[in-house]
Structure 1
Amino acid sequence: MKKYFLLLILFQYTVLSQPQSVGELLFTELHNFKSGEVNRSYLLYKIPFSNLVFQKEGNIFKAGVKAGVEIFNDSSRSVYRDYTEKIISVDEFELTNDKNSYLQGIIEFSLPSGKYKIYSSFTDINSIRELKSKPHTLKTDSTNIITNPIIVHSDKILCDTLQLFNIANFSGTIPFSSELFSILIPVAEENSDGLEIKAHYEGEVIFNEIITEYFHSPFEFTICNNKVVLNNSANTKNLKYFIAKDISAKLKEGIVSIKISYKSEPEKQDSFQIPVIWINKPHALLDLEKSIQHLKLIESSELIDKLERSSRDNLEKDFYSLWKKYDPTPETEFNELMHEFYKRVDYAELNFRPLASKNGAKSDRGKIYIQFGNPDSMVRFTDEYGRMVETWMYSNPQRSLMFVDKRGNGNFTLVNSQ
């Protein structure tokens, strides 16, 4: 029966779920391209709609930020200051609270060679609330053979008639997600015939490949359909870009050390520490002990007891190993079924908790929601005794379930299932 339960979750995931991108207020990342003696720098920013205040204007909802940057040289002298405004509008109210939709923008500036500290500020236009951002350090006279990698969505997007790279724009991190991400690696030397890339996680080599796929292009960052993209430019240097295609599929959550060296000259190398972050990770997965307790919905008490007896060092490993056997994409590190399960737990905890309890996932409605997802239709009414009743209808598989709030405390009990 419990295996059937998991198959139902997987079916619901396949049909209904959308890729999800822990909830940051603001993401920023800095990139620099050479242009003769001058450096063209780009501060990219990305703010979830859920962290902005939208105001209704006619049939649309508008939000925006005032974005500012101030730059200091290594003598602590202010050398540049600029402010811009970015406005976004949406047609649907639901989008105004969406934590997976974003306002994105670019602040561009040019600096001579040197070392700089870059401070940015972002103020919500409607609420006048300031969103804090960490400062960035920029060395425009760097002699690194390999410059900072650029994290992009593996699938390009159509911008006018061009297929362009869509920047991940998550503060230079690689999202841990069902969506695939690649790394663009700019190199300055034309004679490089390939790169060896090694990714280490907690001492283990999890990625080791020779990359020979590359292209030449002078790039700049632009906005297309409210996304930051790499577009061709006449103002920057033509560089060779190697592509580590779909590298995110092999990466685990945590800090990944990536060593990049020339294939023919391995002494020419650079290393980068890149965080792999689960953006908007389900809260139910943030506490491992509670995550295990929720498994009682789908696993036997004997297996749960065995898991809880694992040593502290092995508990997390054993937990993820248990879920791996249900992974619909075992060739990647991200487990879509586990994500869907705990995303539903989050929703149930928030929406189905009785007045005197915090355990919405353990309520009858919570358990049904975790198993079947949102009903195709729901009817809410008052019965002859003045009690609130909810009837949930599902079409595939076809079933009807009735819940009654017998005590008036929000604890709806399942009384009928057909």
Structure 2
Amino acid sequence: MKKWIRTLLGGFILLLLIAKWSPAQYYGEIEEKFDQLTLHTNPLFNYEIFNFPTPDSNSSRLDIFISVSNALLQFVKQEEGGYVAQFELNITIYEHKKEDVTLYQSFEQRIEEDSYQKTVSRGIRHYYFYSVSLKPRRYKMLLELVDLDTRKSLQWKSQIKLKTFRKANFNFSDIVFYQIDTTDVTPRITLLNVSPEFFQKTPYAHYPQLVTPSLVNQRKLYIIGCYFGIYHEVFVTVPLDSLLLTYEIINSSNRVVYKREIRKKVIERLVVGEFKINKIAFAPGEHLLRITVSGHGKPCRIQKEFFFSPVLTVQNIDDYVDLAIRPLRYVANSKEYRQMLEASEKDKKVLLEAFWAKRDPTPQTPENELREEFYRRVNFANHHFFNPFSNRQGWETDRGRIFIIYGPPDDVERPPVKKRQPLYEIWTYQREDFVRRVIFVFKPEWGEFQLVTME
């Protein structure tokens, strides 16, 4: 154990060695592995339900946005080459109490892939959109995926409450959170029952990267990144030409960290509310989005909880200097680390820049490969190892610490759980100068894995 700890002093050497490999490909492989093992993110089948007003006073619009991972599908190898998966997506909506079928729709789908690796990839996802107008009331919904070759099926059930948008002066739709994808890679969306013209009028046409709740806490969204936006609608029942929308983001200390006011025109009794945050300067952690509409009588309000974790880049480190410094406790000496923590905001930036300048392996180039690799690891840890129970950032966990110091393991294994035995995870590092196994045990009371031994 002591020998392993002493190798921390050479952590930056390991970082540099790994940075000279092919990080994009290597990270892709290890990310796929961690995605397969994750406890609470990136499900193989996911769906989001949104409720919007309609021009018809007797109906309410239900939008269903579905994503299916290749890893869930059964692919069959074709004689002429390639692989094909064929399945049905069935949507059944029942009356809440009577169990009468209000709606049933079935859609056959076919997916083709040119390699086996793609057929088992958790990251390759297919998106489907369905929309229907129903009477405002409670329903039960059954989503079913049926493999057409094996006839095996999987089912997901949900309770739905469609609102009437005529009760108050201002009536809010659901809030759609979306991630702004800076890579310009837009997923292809299959329209199950609507026309392209209808779809273009929805928020999903332009912002398909929906932010989805963590499975362990359906009330809270987990936003990873520095660019996101929200979309909603307000149905107005009183005669108005315009109204005022106020957007506030409130942190866990009940302090407003972001505020924006927008005056919007009322067009055919409807107001479309939307705003984007392209640069976020508030700290990571729990937040509350609060939207207030005013313009006639008592203001109306809606709110939504979310957890924010920024992705650190060279361009935004100055905006998150504290977050950029704190993970350095794993690799910096105590004197340097303490100086950065205790410095003024201005001096922190200077000290952080000097810290990385001293460790730049190629000072003659604009890039600092060591710094980029370090924050790549921090971002990876935050994405895969965050604890939604305690809201601990991924880098703060035991798995995050080991990942940041030693990089991606060469192998990750989670043996099947046996009766009366805890869930555990084994990481294997195979380097030229050492081979190590790191063992973590899942602690339910903590909601995360704890380091128990290094061999």
Q: TM-score range by the shorter chain?
A: 0.5 to 0.7
Gaps of 5+ in 2: 1-9, 36-40, 189-195, 215-220, 311-326, 339-351, 357-367, 369-374, 382-402, 416-423, 437-455
Task: Establish whether residue 242 from structure 1 lines up as the match of residue 274 from structure 2.
Answer: yes
Q: How many residues align?
A: 304
Equivalent residue for 1:195, pick from 227, 232, 245: 245
What amino acid sits opposite 2:235 in the alignment? A
Alignment of 1:338-349 (within 5 A): 338-340=378-380, 342=403, 347-349=409-411
How many angstroms apart in 2 are the aligned matches of 1:87 and 1:277?
36
In structure 2, relative to structure 1, the CA distance for the partners of 1:94 and 1:29 (3 Å cut) is same
User: Structure 1 length as normaliser, TM-score?
Assistant: 0.56
Instruction: Give CA deviations for 1:158-196 in whole Å, capped at 9, x if unaligned.
Output: 999x99413224546755434733211222246555432
Q: Deviations over 1:284-335 (max 9, x none)?
A: xxxxxxxxxxx999637989xx9xxxxxxxxxxxxxxx9xx99x9xxxxxx6
Q: Does 1:258 align with 2:289?
A: yes
Q: Does the 8 Å CA contact 1:176/1:252 hold for their aligned counterparts?
A: no
Task: Report if aligned partners of 1:154, 1:180 keep a CA contact under 8 Å in 2.
Answer: yes
Q: Confirm or deny: 8 A CA contact 1:182 1:245 kept in the other structure.
A: yes
Shift of 1:54: 1.5
- Equivalence map 1:14-413=2 (5 Å): 22-33=41-52, 34-36=54-56, 37-57=58-78, 58-78=80-100, 79-142=102-165, 143=167, 145-155=171-181, 157=186, 164-169=205-210, 171=212, 174=221, 176-178=223-225, 180-189=227-236, 191-205=241-255, 207-212=257-262, 239-246=271-278, 252=284, 256-262=287-293, 267-274=299-306, 299=331, 336-340=376-380, 342=403, 347-350=409-412, 359-364=426-431
Residue 338 of structure 1 and its aligned partner are, at CA, apart by 1.3
Offset, 1:46: 0.7
CA distance in 2, matches of 1:179, 1:126: 43
8 Å contact from structure 1 (residues 192, 262) kept in 2: no
CA distance in 2, matches of 1:111, 1:272: 25
CA contact (8 A) 1:361 1:367 kept: no
Question: 1:350 Cα deviation (Å)?
Answer: 2.5
Q: Is the 8 A contact 1:25 1:48 kept in 2?
A: yes
Whether contact under 8 Å (1:215, 1:242) holds in the other structure is no
After TM superposition, give the deviation of residue 141 of structure 1 in Å: 1.3
Deviation for aligned residue 1:339: 3.4
8 Å CA contact retained: 1:67, 1:85:
yes
The two structures have a TM-score, normalised by structure 2, of 0.52
* C-alpha deviation, 1:5, in angstroms: 4.3
Cα RMSD after superposing both structures: 4.9
User: Aligned residues: percent identity?
Assistant: 11
How far, CA to CA, are the matches of 1:11 and 1:117 in structure 2?
53
